[in-house]
Structure 1
Amino acid sequence: MSVGTRGQLYLVPAPLDFGCDTQTPLDAVIPAGTLQIAARLPAWICENAKSTRAYLKRVGELYPLARPVQELQIQELPRDVHKKGDHAGQFDARPLLRPALDGLDMGLVSEAGMPAIADPGSSAVRAAHDLGLQVVPLTGPMSLMLALASSGLNGQNFAFAGYLPQDGGQRVQRIRELESLALKTGQAQLFIETPYRNAALLQALLQTLQANTRLSVSCGLTLANAWSRSALVSTWNREKPNPPLALPAVLCLGR
């Protein structure tokens, strides 16, 4: 707690095993310093209170929590923020930061990885800056950067395209747009999908992309059964590898 002053907003990474059948030991993927800070925070902003409590119980098994989980102040971002995103400025998150204005340090956490990157939370970060609060990002797993590093694609020039359209025709059009941009500029293109649509997305990519485009698929990063493969589309179609697409995946394309 920041006694007599305003609290700080800590961006707390979560493990990448959310929704998976097996869990990764926290101390194997998140530094001790991050877990120790998380253990002492009395107030939180999150996507889902239930999963946040489950995460903090795991933290408490390694480092004693400052308060019992049931006594922590946990506030959820609105459901619309999850579906539509909170990066365009429509949602005012300042009321969620009242505990910090009252002197309590707070944590911002998402279901997996770093909050506010490919997940909700940017509205809370913007609001903290607007209120004059210190924002402190903590070290931990972030699937996009891990996937890019393991792809062999351009780590000096890249973009995250989020989710591709679900409609088949629109998805093909978007894939061609991203491929054209990547081949023309050298900018690697990263995107994600919900696990149950991963197989359809991969099939669309292999049917749409040019043979000399490089495609990388990384599944279950930081898990014991993590899988990563980067190859030309012609190689994918010839060798037909079988990635574990039921796991969360990050896909990248480029040259």
Structure 2
Amino acid sequence: MMPTLFLIPTVLAPETAFSVLSPQVRDVISRTDVFFAENLRTTRRFISELKTGRKIEDLTFFELHKDTPVADTRRQIAELKQSGRDAGVISEAGCPGIADPGAVAARLAHEAGMQVAPLSGPSSILLTLMGSGFNGQSFAFSGYLPIDRNERATAIRQLEKKALSGQTQVFMETPYRNNALLEDLVNVCQPTTLLCIGSQLTAPDEFVSTQRIAQWRNSRPDLHKKPTIFALGTF
């Protein structure tokens, strides 16, 4: 039987596994003993919190982050295929493969002839889009905007232009720079442009709100160190 690479979602917020993740996630983890992990420490903790009965010391973990050599992952995938063993990919948060190095493992698994099985789970990108009220038929995710403020202002203007043409534009920032990005958005965008902010998604203090830039200028939430997704769009 062909081995399978499972793309396993994890939580976006602490202590939400049993309320957010499907029983399928726990079932797959309970019968898988090889994992590609973006962060070994948090992945081990996540598996332990699911209380599957598996001993962490009996599992095999391979690091898979942005600096992991592709050759290492290719060799590990090839060995799994040859031995007929299933494996799982677990991201730092949310769904692996979406704005995440897990995409490398999925690509290499396809090349090796393994089955690839994505499991359903929380994605901050899609949750923000769902809650925004914006066009969900045509949208683009641009990841992180430039750090340089002049370059970022140019990027924001380009995203705003695309959003006003009808294609929703979704993007993000490193949590400790969220407030700086919001500052640039309210200063660069037109007052009537609509901005959605999705922050702390699935957590008890979850926040999703769509307002015009003029409104955000008068009431800016503190997003410092809070995982947040931004979207520009139209109603």
With the shorter chain as reference, the TM-score category is over 0.9
| Contact kept? 2:178, 2:223, Cα under 8 Å | no
Contact map agreement 2:39 2:65 (CA 8 A) in 1: no
Runs of 4+ in 1 over 6 A off after TM superposition: none
Q: Residue type matched to 2:203 in 1?
A: L
Query: How large is the Cα RMSD of the aligned pairs?
Result: 1.5
TM-score, normalised to structure 2, is 0.94
Q: Distance in 1 between matches of 2:98 and 2:213?
A: 28
Give the counterpart letter for 2:21 in structure 1. Answer: I
The answer to whether structure 1 residue 64 and structure 2 residue 64 are counterparts is: no
Of 2, 5, 12, the match for 1:16 = 12
Long gaps (5+) in structure 1 = 18-22, 82-89
Cα gap change, 1:110 to 1:78, in 2 (>3 Å):
closer
How far, CA to CA, are the matches of 2:26 and 2:84 in structure 1?
21
Answer yes or no: is the 8 Å Cα contact 1:9–1:100 preserved in 2.
Answer: no
Matching of residue 35 in structure 1 with residue 35 in structure 2 = no
Aligned pairs for 1:196-211 (under 5 A) are 196-211=176-191
What's the secondary structure of 2:67's corresponding residue? helix
- 2 CA distance for matches of 1:78 and 1:194? 16
- Aligned identity (percent) is 37
Distance 1:77 1:218 in 2: 27
Task: Tell me, yes or no, if the aligned pair for 1:45 and 1:96 is still in contact at 8 Å.
Answer: no
After TM superposition, give the deviation of residue 79 of structure 1 in Å: 4.7
* Pair 1:243–1:216, CA change in 2 (3 A): farther
**Runs of 5+ consecutive residues of structure 2 not aligned to the other structure:** none
Q: Name the residue aligned to 2:196.
A: 216
Residues 245, 217 of structure 1: alpha-carbon distance in 2 compared, 3 angstrom cutoff: farther
TM-score by length of 1: 0.87
CA distance in 2: counterparts of 1:132 and 1:120, whole angstroms: 19
Aligned residue in 2 for 1:132: 113
Residue number among 17, 40, 60 corresponding to 1:73 in the alignment? 60
Decide whether the 8 Å contact of 1:195 with 1:249 is kept in 2.
Answer: yes
Deviation at 1:226, TM superposition (A): 0.7
